[in-house]
Structure 1
Amino acid sequence: MTKQPPLSIHLPPRQDSQTVTQWAYQSLRNALMVGQIPPGRALTIRGLADLLGVSPMPVREALRQLAAENALEILGNRRVMVPQMTAMKFTELCEARIALESHAAVRALPYVDKERLEQLRQLDLEIDRAQESGKLEQINRLNQHFHRLLYRANPHQVTLPLIESLWLQLGPFVRLATQQLQDHYQIDRHKEAINALERQDSLALQLAIGSDIRDGLAFAGTPEMLSRFLNGNNQHAQ
């Protein structure tokens, strides 16, 4: 059995309005979403409690919430695990992302004003700088911020919780995707999306968002590549 390296996750400051359980849930959720917890990684409640500096009780409740979102699997020996992935499930998650996020972007388009458009431009520049500096986690966080900022322009949107659920399930694979962006992400799809927003072109926006997701996950672009990647990670996690 290969010894697993120590786990390190970013711990955000706890807000006065947050309970310990809410903070533990948010910390673990963010870590999963940006790929700080690798695929197949086995975790213990005690280990996570020590990592977060809290008692096991709030961690246990946070893990129950994450398991309900299909982000974690609770095992029978007080351990939890990032669920292992199959090629079919991976493909289904990616296609669901494209469908939901293309819809969310198009529905947000009429509500994107000049101020939000400028915010999206600045975020895209920050992502470019993070890529040049090789700051993988920052790329992931900024990319999710870009998409949230766009979708939340629609005051009536209801799909973001569903979208974030998909981000959670794909999160453990995000780091590998980010490491290979230069190989597969040759066109800045965010700039395409911004241009489409300027022109109020819903079809171009839909295509840009779909291409952004496909290019970002192109490291698993064929069933053979995906199977090799999944098998390698599942074996490494044992």
Structure 2
Amino acid sequence: MTRFSANLGFLWNDLPLPEAIRAAKDSGFHAVECHWPYETDASEIKAALEDTGLTMLGLNTLRGDVSAGENGLSALPGRQAEARAAIDLAIEYADAVDAAAIHVMAGKATGPKAHAVFLENLAYAADRTRRIILIEPLNRHDAPGYFLETTTQASGIIAELAISNLKLMFDCYHVGRSEGDVITRLTDLFLIVGHIQIASVPYRRQPDHGELHYPSIFSAISELGWRRPIGAEYKPDGPTEGSLGWMHQYTR
């Protein structure tokens, strides 16, 4: 049986996070993950997780000034103090809710200085916690100008740093939009993958829509030996409960 994690940045995002966690449990998810939970007291999240028996798989570092279009801080030259404050906050929150991983968001940047700063901040993050530090390439259509664009770039950074708790967030949606050949890329990179996410291509809906054939992808993931929940990070085309038909065939 394949297990799934509800990404509460998109699923039940009309509910307060503790209620969304409970809704995910009631709908058959085995874990949850979120984007930026910081406006909710961590004790409320911890209580909801304990009540439901679900695990929080991950959360993101802050994006910075969202009104100015910022989408992360850790690859921005001259912003190291803010980036590390965001990392420290994420670690503190992850410790409070026992989240398995922290996604360190790079931000919009380019060039060798950005690369050097990103590596320094990733090393800082990995040294500060035993939790998994994730980096995730974002596709150029949804996140133009984002520093980390491809799995090749991400795998190069992971190899360069050679830190045991630095891993790749393999989002089938982003890889499908930017690179294609999702199963081959996942197979080639599997040893450095720390989390897997899914959504349809190109519209980021539930995974029984679009170009990607998820039955084949789920079969490949299973054959590779992945046993952790897969993150459902898609935008429902209506109420979340009505979008879950795809999942029930895999979790019966």
For the aligned pair, the TM-score class normalised by the smaller chain equals under 0.3
TM-score normalised to structure 1 length: 0.25
Higher normalized contact order (CA 8 Å, seq sep 6+, divided by chain length): 1
- Structure with bigger strand share is 2
> Computing the radius of gyration over CA atoms, which structure comes out larger, 1 or 2?
1
TM-score (norm 2): 0.24
